[in-house]
Chains A and B, each alone.
Chain A
Amino acid sequence: EPEVTQTPSHQVTQMGQEVILRCVPISNHLYFYWYRQILGQKVEFLVSFYNNEISEKSEIFDDQFSVERPDGSNFTLKIRSTKLEDSAMYFCASSATRTSAPYEQYFGPGTRLTVT
């Protein structure tokens, strides 16, 4: 069964450093998402991406964040200058083909980001 993959599984970085989290969505999906979950808290939406553009973004997704689909398979989340409060599990998700509605989002296993 196709699945969303994410790398790395765990990233440790120092405050102020840039990080790039990588995702490979399901190959024929059209919509891509990033969510995050701070330890013990709710899963929070960050951004959605379609047709090489951001569709929606939350208040969390400020100028320090950016997303990119650099080629036909990868979808990345960049945090320019990490802060301690960026420590969280980051989930990538994808949904919908050209013939199916995006009712079902498929989530990856997550990247645990630890900012020290």
Chain B
Amino acid sequence: DAKTTQPTSMDCAEGRAANLPCNHSTISGNEYVYWYRQIHSQGPQYIIHGLKNNETNEMASLIITEDRKSSTLILPHATLRDTAVYYCIVRYYSGAGSYQLTFGKGTKLSVIP
């Protein structure tokens, strides 16, 4: 699986958009980008995933660059409850079978009132 690089920590003002970058310059064509978060030692929570196209769901948007070497997770209106460690994970998915997630250190996002 491709290696990812994320900033160690970021701050965001409450109500503003939080933009969390992830570098995955060695990503291969069949690897997906997944984002999870972990709120204070709770179980990780899935946020969003993508392959090539930008994706949006009720939680966030995922912007993947055209060369797929980096991506940005956007939380459009951050709240205090979004304070968490955010993990960017790149993983090959064949379309069948289980897949393990390899978590790095992630980005600790602090939402400031």
A residues lining the B interface (CB < 8 Å): 4, 31, 33, 35, 37, 42-45, 48-50, 55-56, 58, 89, 91, 93, 95, 101-110
Known: A89-B41, A91-B44, A110-B43. A31 touches B103 (CB 8 A): no
Chain A nearest Cβ from B101, distance in angstroms: 6
Complex interface: chain A residues within 8 A of B77 (CB): none
Chain B window 32-56, contacts with chain A (Cβ cutoff 8 Å), 1 for yes, 0 for no? 1010001001111110010000000
Total number of B residues with any Cβ neighbor in A under 8 Å: 22
- Find out whether the CB atom of A42 lies under 8 angstroms from the CB atom of B44: no
Measured between alpha carbons, how far is A95 from B42 in the docked complex, in Å?
Answer: 18
Known: A42-B105, A43-B38, A103-B93. A93 touches B99 (CB 8 A): no
| A interface, over-half SS | strand
Q: Does B102 contact A (CB under 8 A)?
A: yes
- Find out whether the CB atom of B42 lies under 8 angstroms from the CB atom of A105: no
Known: A91-B44, A109-B43. A103 touches B98 (CB 8 A): no
Measured between alpha carbons, how far is A48 from B102 in the docked complex, in Å?
Answer: 13
Known: A4-B43, A108-B43, A109-B42. A42 touches B98 (CB 8 A): no
Chain B window 45-74, contacts with chain A (Cβ cutoff 8 Å), 1 for yes, 0 for no? 110010000000000000000000000000
Q: Which residue of B lies closest to A56 (CB)?
A: B100
Measured between alpha carbons, how far is A50 from B100 in the docked complex, in Å?
Answer: 12
